[in-house]
Chain A
């Protein structure tokens, strides 16, 4: 999946997440806003539908859980198992992982009906941490330059990439990045005018300088980002595992006590 279809899929991901969230808010706001304790929720007409064991509430929990499980293990499988190594780009898998887990998180969140208590809530809070850390991880992730497959580039590869840019800048426009990186673009513009570079190319020059600038900063931060990313894994993964363990216990207990939604009837 490249170019436009990829962009479409990204838009679709966001649209689905937003639509799901807004639909649930719109449909259940009058119920979810009520205090979790007391009788008000019980008296609400949507109680039997939206309660955690209700048709919708329970369904959200089960489907959301399946989404998270599928998103997590799917991504992990693609990332760690050699047989899936060639199935799609890792970058796209990550995007899909983020999408499906976020969707699952939202559904599980509404399954809880925002009632955070007991060990199940620890599972939920773990899920929240996993979700938030995922957001942070995504930020760190993009700070580490990668190959088109999503593989991390080594420092050398990045520096080569930077050199390629620098060469392109010099060959085409006679500018060295080292000369202009601290200059204002107005000064660069003067140089370009002196070198009789057409105005149309100015934008391209500016893009190349910015790209190289980013690349240079990423090289500078690469070590730190690598460390951060390692630490992030320590945060993201264990909480994901905690969440999974509790989820398993929760699901097992629910099934044990006969709360099987529409399944096993």
Chain B
């Protein structure tokens, strides 16, 4: 029995030890050390009687030993100091155990010779520390290492500029973005195109645009057209002012205009004529910038409506240039012909009347709702003197014309006293305007007798009066006083014989007596001796 137990024990022990000889370690090694698995390899890491020593690790990890010796890199830092490797890189924790464990929050990357700034600080370590970017062939195959990475930008980043600019991206770009680079150390002013004014604030990409160069997107730096502004800037004036923008503009601003005195405004859409030539620029260009667009298609864009909408039709006023010119607002191109198309046509004397006579009777001009009746402008001097039946509604035009007040077209026959002969040739005033007793001319249209004597003086001192009334028309006509219808044969004394050849004055002599001076026609006696002695 005891022999059986002994044999069984021996067998089991033997099998156990032999079968698991290769697994004598307290746990599997991580991938990086997997090749050291096996009891024959224990002392490659473990020192006899001395656990695991730092030097033992560095025997294999020569790159770290070199890094420490050269006092460069993390393992040469104060933080690591002379710590045993096992403090950070513990083993026998399984094949998938990460030997390298970095506390991203506390790890001081700056000590590694490369400060993590901007986007770099946000990236995962392995975004950079990967075989693809490892330049040192000693580290290339070590997938778990963080070493072997160069601090050169192009080590990780592709050269967008295809070797045409510095390999040190940081000389232009910041660490937050490749966009909006801030060029440091490069003086653009030493190129043929000095960066002046607002160009200083423009992103490089605005001018050095990304194009496909060598089948790859890249910025163009050579062959840019910069002699004139228009290759980059759109000519808003559509070549109205030529292609040299600098004549008027500077790099400071397109809105700041220089050489204003020599600026030819006529090339703009608004030609300066008449009074506009003498107006100060700022009177129209009131905003800060001279280039701010101004409405100029209508005068009312700048000018206030002096007439306060007087001419508005359906709420829309015609533009000033409808009547005025650029020369002056005092002048007008509103012609008589245009006036004649209105309700009140300008005729006769009205044509010779200045506008203001009618339209500016007071301080302000007035055009709308103008009167058309004469008496609304002209004073009716006949009011109370002429019977309404001859001047109904105070209508002047029944007698007068627009040519002249003196030109009267009244049909006098309507009064029952037809104007004939010399009467018809007389001006109205001859009969109707007379000086009164105090020498003032007063008019009279009413109450005038049709008798000749009411107007005419009886030069015959009543010689022909019959019943105290002299009937002039018995002898005289209307043409002239000298024309006489008198026939001597109808008188008491018929002219016969030698009497026929005698002049009237021989018999009818001028007489002066108490009646006055007159020619005597009527005699008391027609006897011969009354004339002949």
Contact = CB atoms under 8 A, between A and B. Distances in A.
Interface of A: 36-39, 41-42, 52, 115, 117-120, 122, 126, 230, 233-234, 237-239, 241-242, 245-246, 249, 253, 255-259
B116 to A, nearest CB: 23
A37 B29 CA distance: 11
A192 B144 CA distance: 88
B9 A37 contact: no
A118 B27 CA distance: 7
A255 B48 CA distance: 9
A44 to B, nearest CB: 12
Q: What are the nearest 6 A-B pairs in CB distance?
A: A37-B94, A238-B9, A119-B20, A258-B51, A118-B23, A257-B46
Given A241-B9, A242-B13, A117 B28 contact: yes
Contacts of A52: 26
20 contacts: A36-B94, A37-B96, A38-B93, A39-B97, A117-B23, A117-B26, A117-B28, A118-B24, A118-B25, A119-B21, A119-B24, A122-B16, A238-B5, A241-B13, A242-B12, A246-B17, A253-B24, A256-B49, A258-B46, A258-B51
Contacts of B98: 39
A239 B98 CA distance: 36
B97 to A, nearest CB: 6
A241 B47 CA distance: 30
Interface string B84-99: 0000001001101110
B50 interface: yes
Contacts of A259: 51
Interface of B: 1, 4-5, 8-9, 12-13, 16-17, 20-21, 23-28, 42-43, 46-51, 90, 93-94, 96-98, 101
B123 to A, nearest CB: 22
Nearest to A112: B26
Contacts of A119: 16-17, 20-21, 23-24
Given A37-B27, A246-B16, 8 more contacts: A37-B93, A38-B97, A118-B25, A120-B26, A238-B9, A242-B12, A242-B13, A258-B47
Contact of A237 (B9, B13, B16, B43): B9
A237 B9 CA distance: 8
A258 B50 contact: yes
B51 A37 contact: no
Given A117-B26, A237-B9, A256 B93 contact: no
Contacts of B23: 117-119
Contacts of B51: 257-259
Name the residue among B20, B43, B90, B98 with the largest chain A CB count within 10 angstroms: B20
Contacts of B50: 257-258
A259 to B, nearest CB: 6
A234 B23 CA distance: 27
Contacts of A258: 46-51
Nearest to B51: A258
Given A37-B93, A258-B49, A258-B51, A122 B26 contact: no
A256 B39 CA distance: 13
Contact of B1 (A37, A120, A230, A245): A230
Contact of A120 (B12, B21, B24, B49): B24
A118 B20 contact: yes
A246 B27 CA distance: 16
A233 B20 CA distance: 25
B1 to A, nearest CB: 7
Contacts of A239: 12
A249 B14 CA distance: 13
A238 B27 contact: no
A230 B5 CA distance: 10
